[in-house]
Amino acid sequence: MGSNQSNLSDQHVFQSGQGQIGFNLMNSLQQSPESDTTRERSASLDVQNRVAEELKRLQDKEDQISKITDEHIAKESVGDPQIDRDSVARSIATLSQKLRNQSGSLDQSEVVKRAETAVVRCLRLNDRRPLDCWKEVEEFKREVTRLENAFVNKVVGDV
């Protein structure tokens, strides 16, 4: 029983789930000069080349769209000479200089001072229930907004 060696045939058949792969096919794959690593690298290089080509194509398309848009904007702004980088920079510099020359703090009007006093008084009276002071807070917000708008109009209105 153990004295006879089993004979191995030269033809091997590998079975997979659905079919059989013959020995000749396996042999040709094994004798191929490409290894799995080189095939993987080759496939990776192919993918990288395709991605690079696609990126180049998209970049060219984006450049073309940008150029068309710039030309379109240039055509529209020909009639309005005020819209250019230098004039905007001059306007910003003028406004900045005016703001620096203004006095340090804003003049609070009497109405804003009264609204602020009303908020403080309400919060002191309702120290446990500050949400009861919503009317006074809203009035204060309205007056501060009015004062801010007046300041902006005074500064920007002179330009």
pLDDT: is 48 or 24 the higher one?
48
Nearest to 153 by CA among 91, 95, 70: 95
Model pLDDT for residues 111-148, shown as the tens digit of each residue: 888 899 999 999 898 888 888 889 999 999 999 898 88
pLDDT over 70 at 103, yes or no: no
Model pLDDT for residues 50-93, shown as the tens digit of each residue: 999 999 999 999 889 888 888 877 776 665 555 677 777 787 88
Contact at 8 Å (CB) between 97 and 159? no
Contact at 8 Å (CB) between 13 and 20? yes
Rounded-to-integer distance, Cα 121 and Cα 141, Å: 16
Rounded-to-integer distance, Cα 139 and Cα 146, Å: 11
Task: Show the beta-strand stretches assigned E in the chain.
Answer: 14-15, 20-21
Rounded-to-integer distance, Cα 75 and Cα 91, Å: 23
Model pLDDT for residues 29-48, shown as the tens digit of each residue: 777 777 778 878 888 888 89
pLDDT over 60 at 159, yes or no: no
> Which residue reads 């406004």 in tokens?
95
Nearest to 118 by CA among 95, 141, 97: 141
Nearest to 53 by CA among 41, 61, 64: 61
